[in-house]
Amino acid sequence: MARGSDDEEDALRWEGDDDASLAPGWKRVGTPVPVASAGATDAATSASPSPEGAAGDDDDAEAQPGSAELVLLGVFGGVYLLYTLGWILSVLRVQNTAQDPLGQFMFALGLWLAVLAPALWFGVTFALTRGRTKTRLVWLLVGAVVLLPIAFVAGVTA
C-alpha cells in the first residue's frame, strides 16, 4: 500500500493524478470528463443537436469502417499493389515497335497507363464511394478482375 494507506483505491492511483496540468479532460483513472471547446458556452453544449447536426453525426459514424471492411481494404490494397508490380514487369518485357514518333509516344503512354491503372482504380473507387461500403467492395472486386495483368500471369513475352 502506498504510504501506509489501507485504501484499496490507492493501488489504482499514481502520485499526481489530481494535478490539473496533466492529462486535461480526465478527472480520475478511466472516467473521461468532457472538455468544452474554447468558443462553446454551456447552453450551446447542452442543447440538443439540430436535424442538420444529427445527419452530420450519422455520416461521421457511417464513415468509420468496421474491422471486416478494413481487412478487406487491406487485402484489396495488397492485390492492387501486386497488380501494379505485375504490370511493371509486363511493361519491361514489351518492345516498342512503332516507327513514327506519335506512335511511339502513344504506345509508351498506353504502357504506363496500364502500370498506373490499379493504383488509380483503388484510389478513385475509395474516393467516390465514401460511406458506401458494399458499393466500394463491389467496385474493388470488379477492378480486381478487370485489371489482372494477364500477360504476366500467363507468362507471355513479346
Look at 2 and 154; give whichever has higher pLDDT: 154
pLDDT digits (tens, 9 = 90+) for 63-122: 577 788 889 989 999 999 999 998 898 888 888 888 899 999 999 899 989 999 999 999
- pTM reported for the whole predicted model: 0.55
Residue 109 in any domain: the answer is yes
Question: Residue 31's beta-bridge partner residues?
Answer: 28
81 belongs to a structural domain: yes
Contact 71, 63 (CB under 8 A): no
22 shares a domain with 69? no
Please check whether residues 73 and 130 belong to one and the same domain: yes
Contact 82, 115 (CB under 8 A): no
Q: Are 24 and 100 in a shared domain?
A: no
* Same structural domain, 105 and 32: no
Question: Same domain, yes or no, for 8 and 80?
Answer: no
Helices 67-93 & 133-146, crossing angle to 10 degrees?
20
85 plus 34 within the same structural domain: no
Q: Report yes or no on 84 lying in a domain.
A: yes
Q: Given this model, what pLDDT does residue 62 score?
A: 54
pLDDT for res 56: 47
| Amino acid found at 36 | A
In a shared domain, residues 36 and 111: no
Q: What is the mean pLDDT of residues 130-152?
A: 87
In a domain, 37, yes or no: yes
Asked if 101 and 150 sit in the same domain, the reply is yes
Residue 59 lies in a domain: no
Q: Alpha carbon 81 to chain centroid distance? A: 15
Cell numbers 439540430 correspond to 50
Cβ atoms < 10 Å from Cβ of 16: 9
pLDDT (tens digit per residue) in 25-54: 655 555 566 666 555 555 444 444 544 444
Give the domain extent around 96. 65-154
In a shared domain, residues 74 and 39: no
Same domain, 69 and 128: yes
Total domains in the fold of the chain: 2
Q: Has residue 54 been placed in a domain?
A: no
- Looking at the fold, whether 19 and 97 belong to one and the same domain comes out as no
